[in-house]
Amino acid sequence: MQTWSLVSICVLLGVAVRWGVSLNSYSGAGKPPMFGDYEAQRHWQEVTYNIPLQEWYFNTTNNDLNYWGLDYPPLTAYHSWLCGHIAKIINSEWVELHKSRGFESPDHKLFMRATVLVADVLLYIPAVVLYCLYLIEGSCKKKVSTLLCILLYPGLILIDYGHFQIGYNGVSLGFALWGVLALGLGWDMLGSMAFSLALNYKQMELYHALPFFCYLLGKCVKIGLMGRGVFLLVRIAATVLVTFALCWLPFLSDSSQALQVVRRIFPVARGLFEDKVANTWCSLNTLIKIRSILSGDAQLYLSFAFTLLAALPSSVKVLIKPTFWHFKLALVNSSLAFFLFSYQVHEKSILLAALPVCLLLNDLPFMSIWFLQVSTFSMLPLLLKDGLLIPYAVTSVAFLLISTYLLSALDHCSEDKLRVGAYRKLLYCLPKVDLACGIRWKFYISVAFMSALSILSVVLDPPPHLPDLFPVLVSMTSFLQFLGIFIYFNILQLSGPPSKKSQKKHQ
């Protein structure tokens, strides 16, 4: 009973912080003609409510794809359609075809914010609660502390409740987390269905697809493909196919419909990147103008090759050794590989790596907190553009202090607890150094530098000849830390063995 009381308090705190952030500004507020992601979501409700389903993804007189055309999978469209119907009941002006473009009012803002909160309360938050209670080992205090830290992660809150990201990240991440939860409990079909729903809500869930596929295939192989394993594989495949078929059913009657949806959700014509993101290509472009040197097709093939090469080692590892510990690490490594090397990455895509890192908060609190702080900082230019400086500063500082205290992160800085034994072997030729002390000081320097750069981005104007100085510095700083953490998690997974806690429950 005491546990559930503490869980209720954590959930209420998580909801309160979310609603507090939602009172601030949002993407594109009062900025015609395109406004921003808030308007994109409102416009999708307008389109899906007013025009036939067959026209949702096509350019027509009633659906100008150049004005926030729908470019997410069918489940997102269905969600917009449902919200559009509710909006119509409350105030028809919110979704009136053509006339509602750029509609802004306090009541409508309240409605849009409420749709995000309802989705989180129904889908994302319950998954976090159940994961912490059933898949985290240790005392009630550890479970509840981890729960509160996950719910207070500022990156997701600032994007979904401040910026108002297209596509409600809590929904796709919630489905993915339900998939992780189900696999952790041994419910493979339910896990496959939940992750299929995540993919059908947001195509960026491909960041997590390789670990799900390799873990389930590895499990089938381990059981035996000549026996029970083949029946498990068939059931999983059937579950995935049926889930996809049901999601795409309205578009399958005409092949041109399905192909148009695919073209819209994978817009390769946009190029390798659009903005300053903390990934490899944007960082490298500051030194070598990749877009000038390589053709569009060459950029696509290059990013595909590097993404596959970066994600392959961890995926092969979980295929060979399909334990839940390796699965969680593979989720981190695969999502970071996609963020660092894949095509047309958005800064908000770091949330896809942040989710599996959140799941490691209890096992690796120090490194997880470090990554989550950097992931929030990496979105600073976007947050400043939307007038979210105060929410960014408050939630970031609060998360750092609360998570460091509750999870005793600074007490988990020994070489043993950081699991950097493999580094010792790699650096055998160098003089013996205190790796844990070095990592700890890098963390302090990182926090100090990110804090200073955050302040400078606000109080100083960049030189006229370097207008993007601060966004570039933010992306470069974040990229270097992401790359270091990516290498750390890969070495951790490939070197083994898994943690004793994970071995107890998940071998």
Is residue 80 a part of any domain in this protein? no
Is residue 40 a part of any domain in this protein? no
Is residue 41 a part of any domain in this protein? no
The predicted pLDDT at position 292 comes to: 82
Q: How far is CA 224 from CA 22, 81, 220, 228, 239, in A?
A: 51, 44, 6, 6, 20
Share of the chain above pLDDT 70, in %: 94
Is residue 352 a part of any domain in this protein? yes
Tens digits of per-residue pLDDT, 46-89? 999 999 999 999 999 999 999 999 999 999 999 999 999 999 99
What does the alpha-carbon distance between residue 48 and residue 56 come to, in Å, rounded to a whole number? 6
| Closest-CA residue to 167 (of 178, 158, 159) | 159
Is residue 43 a part of any domain in this protein? no
Peptide linkage before 74 cis (omega within 30 of 0) = no
CA 32 from centroid of its chain's CA atoms = 29
The predicted pLDDT at position 507 comes to: 43
Question: What DSSP string runs through 77-123?
Answer: HHHHHHHHHHHHHH-GGGG-TTTTTT---HHHHHHHHHHHHHHIIII
Q: Amino acid letter at 159? A: I
Cβ–Cβ < 8 Å for 268, 258: no
DSSP class of residue 54 equals G
| Closest-CA residue to 336 (of 208, 174, 167) | 208
Is residue 52 a part of any domain in this protein? no
Sequence-separated (6 or more) residues with CB below 8 Å from residue 450: 373, 374, 377, 477
pTM of the predicted protein model: 0.94
The boundaries of the domain holding residue 344 are 2-29+104-506
Is residue 289 a part of any domain in this protein? yes
Is residue 35 a part of any domain in this protein? no
Cβ–Cβ < 8 Å for 125, 132: no
| Closest-CA residue to 27 (of 39, 43, 18, 44) | 39
Number of domains the chain contains? 1
The predicted pLDDT at position 495 comes to: 84
Which residues of the chain register pLDDT less than 70?
Answer: 1, 165-167, 421-433, 496-507
The predicted pLDDT at position 431 comes to: 61
Q: How far is CA 434 from CA 280, 384, 431, 485, in A?
A: 30, 38, 10, 18
Question: What is residue 63's three-state secondary structure?
Answer: strand
Q: How far is CA 254 from CA 49, 55, 178, 261, 330, in A?
A: 21, 12, 32, 11, 37
The predicted pLDDT at position 318 comes to: 96
